[in-house]
Amino acid sequence: MEPILKVVHLTHIYGTGTPFERSAVEDMSFDVADGEFLGIIGHTGSGKSTLIQHLNGLLKPSSGQILLEGKDIWAEPKKIRDVRFRVGLVFQYPEYQLFEETVYKDIAFGPTNMGKTGDELDCCVREAARLVGIRDDQLEKSPFELSGGQKRRVALAGVLAMQPRVLILDEPTAGLDPAGRENLLANIRDYHRNKNGTVIMVSHSMEEVAQNVDRILVLKSARVLMQGTPKDVFCRADELLSAGLDVPQITRVAMALKERGLAVDPAVYTTEALERQLLTLRKGAAGC
């Protein structure tokens, strides 16, 4: 199947021709499959933000291409706005971007700009609100009356209401408490599963990435360091640590157990999985 998004030899240089010239993205190539949940991790300054701003045409490549459904997004620069409707980007702390008088109007802003009106518009807004768990009676409230976690869900709904083909989230759970984090991730998982939506999530939390995504892209110093399933990536824990990244705490426990001579596979990133491994070890011991 053709990938929905294809990044080909993407390079981006800031401040070309000035003393501050610096490449933030260097020769990155990767595919995103239709319906995939991709996680992006990387140290601050590794190029994550610069990369995702290319995926919906907010930044123009210095060289290389972004293909959306097989077509170069910059083939017709005048139609770049259309790309932004198809690739929805939710920035960090999106709740600071709410501005309308009511939750309903705020969510409706994107689809209205796409030219939707009447029942079609209403349908988009209500469906997006439902996806993130905003109740009907909250739609007529001012977004500023809501709690931080709810505001963030409204901001997410505003992007979902455009029904983008690809949804990109930049650290969606930063600053939320554990329950708020889990609620928001559940919304994203539901959207991914029920709508078969393609989701790209940038996160600093290795646990969050490990437990939610199909595949991980690891960036280091403006390049792709590795890509693969969470299992593939976290079994290279030493490389991750030397790239200034963390591995999930449970992976570190597994590594420490291996060092202590236990036959544990350290490529594990959930407590359930490590629990299962340890229980088979116990059974094995009892059988001897």
Q: Which spans of this chain sit near another protein (rule: CB under 8 A)?
A: 43-45, 145, 147-149, 174-180, 204, 206-207, 244-246, 248-250, 252-253, 256-257, 259-262, 271-272, 274-275, 278-279, 281-282, 285
Least Å distance between CB 245 and another protein?
7
Which CB sits closer to another protein, 42 or 164? 42
**Alpha-carbon span 41 to 181, nearest angstrom:** 17
Least Å distance between CB 181 and another protein?
8
Least Å distance between CB 274 and another protein?
6
Which CB sits closer to another protein, 63 or 142? 142
DSSP 8-class letter at 144: G
Task: Please enumerate in sequence order all residues whose Cβ is within 8 A of that of 46, keeping only pairs 6 or more positions apart, or say none.
Answer: 219, 220, 221, 222
Structure tokens at 243: 């790239």
Which CB sits closer to another protein, 79 or 276? 276
Provide the CB-side half-sphere exposure for 221 (13 A, CA).
Answer: 4
**Closest by CA position to 267, among listed 247, 282, 284, 244:** 247
Alpha helices in 58-177 (DSSP H): 80-86, 103-113, 118-131, 148-160
**Alpha-carbon span 207 to 97, nearest angstrom:** 28
Least Å distance between CB 288 and another protein?
12
Least Å distance between CB 206 and another protein?
8
**Alpha-carbon span 41 to 49, nearest angstrom:** 11
**Alpha-carbon span 57 to 202, nearest angstrom:** 17
Which CB sits closer to another protein, 128 or 274? 274
Which CB sits closer to another protein, 1 or 286? 286
Least Å distance between CB 263 and another protein?
10
Q: Which residues of 216-247 are buried (b: 16+ CB within 10 A; e: fewer)?
A: bbbbbebebbbbeebeebbbbbeebeebebeb
Which CB sits closer to another protein, 43 or 236? 43
